[in-house]
């Protein structure tokens, strides 16, 4: 469903963030991308979100070139992708409930749907009791769970998680990974980047290893090898 | 859906105003200062206008007739002056009235009055006082009066004196002062307005700069530009409304305090009276400027961060 066709991103001659990257991801896959800092993982994810454009090559989502999408179609496309960031990126002036409701409002959902779906996803990430708390009143793990709830509330086809456990303690890390696995079991494609060897080794899923902008390994049931 | 979206946008705008209390407070404060500058400008224009009008009103030409000029000739001349397009107003003072005025002016001057009584006859001629619509038009009127056409029916002169030449220098200078005061006043107004608009614009831009991360997150969860931007515009409009009302409230004691001072210092325009009498107009100008400033600044400030 996601296909990278010889994608390069060149910031300047000396820095090639991506260098001829090609791979494809099937529906319902759980793919981890590993690599050192600066290997190009985040740039790769930015290409999928169309937060940045490739210098060469194309990225396809179900045979649509996403960088050729007009603005309006771009919004609809982004609503089909749920995103989780290392730094959570919650809206600081909105409560947990409102943060998730915002993603639904953006997708044009009705008030009735919002009233029923938001508590449901918050329960799913075990935060039903913290609905009315603002992000600064939550712990790191709780914030990341709110971010995951926001990412899944519109029932996206893909979830992109960019180092979601980077700022979390081992227990929270474990919880987040369990939630992601559960979401994957329910049929959502997941694309995860991480530095955490333990997470990768326990997942036993496909692993793409990157180095200096290139894909150097792509293993089914891979391990963290670097 | 349209109504639901509208309702959500307004609600978000109001909530953002409330939750970003400190930022909102600073923005409202700066905008209130700006609106007070605009109000000050309105007052200044009013004061300047009234003052200039009164100065203009004081400029005139007097035509002094010879005592022996016939009433019909004077009357004929008065009519032809009145028919000139440049003339705004003509006052006619008969010989008897002129004498009366003279006596009144010198009521305490026994010697002058005695000398007048000695004469027996009225030595004063009739006077016509002319006011032009514009100070620059006096020259033309004076030229007309000094031309040869102005003679009595028997061909003898009837005008003793036209006081234009004596007043000419003063009138010319006044005309210049009035013209340049208007030009300078306009330029200063423009500079003030531009400055206040820039200050407000930058304040709101800073307030929104704080939210730039949020704006990109909203874009990344798939919100349309319209849906991201509109709440900020609502907040901006709210800044304008609150600042406008605050300004109007503050103007009440300010103009009350300045009223008597302005009445003494300038030409009898009491700012407080002016404020209360023109409240409707000032209300719309102040509130309108506030709302427009808030909405446009917010719209433009968000625009920068929407390019994700």
- Does the pLDDT of residue B266 top 80, yes or no? no
CA distance B143 to A171: 102
- Complete edge-to-edge strand list for the sheet that includes strand A56-61: A15-25, A2-12, A56-61, A64-65
- Does the pLDDT of residue B265 top 90, yes or no? no
pLDDT in tens, A36-49: 888 888 889 989 98
CATH second-level architecture of B67-157? 2-Layer Sandwich (3.30)
- Would you call A18 exposed, middle or buried from its count of C-beta atoms within 10 A (0-12, 13-18, 19+)? buried
A126 Rama sector, left if φ>0, alpha if ψ -120 to 50, beta otherwise: left
Predicted confidence at residue B140, as pLDDT, reads 77
Compute the average pLDDT of residues A193-208: 89
Contact A96, A122 (CB under 8 A): yes
- Does the pLDDT of residue A90 top 80, yes or no? yes
Residue contact A111–B4, C-beta within 8 A: yes
Which residue does chain B place closest to A112, by CA atoms?
B4
Contact B218, A78 (CB under 8 A): no
The verdict on pTM exceeding 0.95 is no
* Banded pLDDT at B148 (limits 50, 70, 90): low
Compute the average pLDDT of residues A69-96: 89
- Does the pLDDT of residue B201 top 70, yes or no? yes
Predicted confidence at residue B149, as pLDDT, reads 61
Question: Other CB atoms closer than 10 Å to residue A124's CB: what's the count?
Answer: 18
Provide the CA B42 distance to its chain's centre, in angstroms: 7
Where does CATH 3.30.70.3040 sit in chain B?
A: 67-157
* Banded pLDDT at A138 (limits 50, 70, 90): very high
| Range in A184-188, B153-157, B273-277 with the lowest mean pLDDT | B153-157
Please tell me which residue, A173 or B56, carries the higher pLDDT value: A173
pLDDT in tens, B87-144: 878 888 887 888 888 888 887 888 888 887 887 777 788 888 888 777 777 777 777 7
* Banded pLDDT at B263 (limits 50, 70, 90): confident
Predicted confidence at residue B241, as pLDDT, reads 95
User: What ipTM was estimated for this complex?
Assistant: 0.78
Which residue does chain A place closest to B212, by CA atoms?
A91
Give residues 160 to 219 of B whose Cβ lies within 8 Å of A.
213-214, 217-219
3-state secondary structure of A218: strand
Compute the average pLDDT of residues A107-132: 91
For chains A and B, what is the number of CB pairs under 8 angstroms? 53
Residues of chain A in contact with residue B8, where contact means CB-CB under 8 angstroms, are: 105
């Amino acid at each position: 469903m996601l296909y990278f066709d010889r994608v390069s991103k060149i910031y300047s001659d000396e820095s090639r963030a991506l260098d001829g990257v090609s791979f494809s991801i099937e529906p319902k896959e759980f793919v981890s991308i590993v690599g050192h800092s600066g290997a190009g993982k985040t740039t790769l994810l930015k290409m999928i979100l169309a937060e940045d454009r490739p210098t060469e090559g194309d990225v396809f989502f179900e045979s649509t070139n996403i960088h050729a999408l007009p603005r309006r179609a771009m919004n609809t496309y982004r609503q089909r992708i749920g995103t989780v960031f290392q730094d959570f990126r919650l809206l600081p002036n909105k409560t947990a409930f409102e943060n998730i409701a915002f993603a639904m409002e953006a997708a044009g959902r009705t008030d009735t749907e919002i009233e029923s779906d938001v508590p449901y996803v918050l329960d799913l990430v075990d935060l039903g009791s913290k609905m009315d708390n603002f992000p600064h009143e939550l712990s790191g793990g709780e914030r990341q769970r709110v971010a995951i709830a926001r990412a899944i509330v519109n029932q996206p086809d893909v979830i992109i998680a960019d180092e979601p456990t980077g700022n979390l303690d081992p227990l929270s890390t474990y919880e987040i990974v369990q939630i992601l696995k559960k979401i994957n079991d329910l049929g959502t494609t997941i694309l995860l980047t991480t530095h955490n060897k333990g997470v990768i080794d326990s997942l036993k899923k496909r692993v793409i290893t990157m180095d200096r902008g290139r894909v150097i390994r792509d293993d089914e049931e891979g391990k963290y090898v670097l | 859906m349209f109504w639901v979206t509208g309702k959500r946008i307004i609600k978000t705008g109001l909530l953002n105003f409330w939750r970003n209390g400190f930022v909102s407070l600073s923005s409202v404060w700066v905008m209130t200062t700006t609106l007070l500058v605009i109000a000050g400008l309105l007052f200044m224009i009013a004061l300047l206008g009234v003052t200039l009008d009164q100065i203009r009103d004081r400029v005139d030409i007097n035509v002094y007739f010879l005592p022996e000029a016939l009433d019909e000739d004077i009357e004929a001349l008065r009519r032809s002056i009145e028919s000139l397009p440049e003339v705004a107003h003509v006052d006619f003072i008969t010989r008897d009235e002129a004498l009366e005025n003279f006596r009144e002016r010198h009521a305490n001057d026994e010697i002058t009055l005695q000398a007048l009584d000695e004469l027996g006859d009225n030595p004063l001629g009739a006077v016509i006082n002319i006011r032009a619509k514009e100070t620059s038009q006096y020259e033309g009127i004076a030229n007309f009066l000094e031309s040869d056409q102005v003679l009595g029916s028997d061909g003898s002169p009837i005008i003793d004196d036209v006081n234009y030449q004596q007043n000419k220098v003063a009138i010319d200078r006044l005309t210049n002062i009035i013209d340049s005061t208007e030009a300078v006043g306009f330029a200063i107004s423009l500079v003030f307005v531009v400055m206040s608009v820039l200050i407000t614009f930058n304040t709101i831009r800073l307030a929104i700069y704080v939210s730039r991360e949020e704006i990109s997150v909203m874009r990344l969860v798939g919100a349309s530009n319209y849906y991201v931007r509109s709440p900020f515009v609502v907040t901006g409009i709210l800044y304008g409304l609150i600042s406008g009302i605050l300004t109007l409230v503050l103007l009440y004691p300010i103009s009350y305090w300045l009223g008597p001072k302005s009445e003494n210092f300038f030409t009898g325009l009491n700012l407080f009276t002016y404020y209360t009498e023109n409240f409707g107009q000032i209300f719309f100008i102040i509130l309108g400027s506030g709302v427009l400033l808030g909405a446009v600044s917010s719209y433009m400030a968000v625009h920068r961060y929407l390019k994700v």
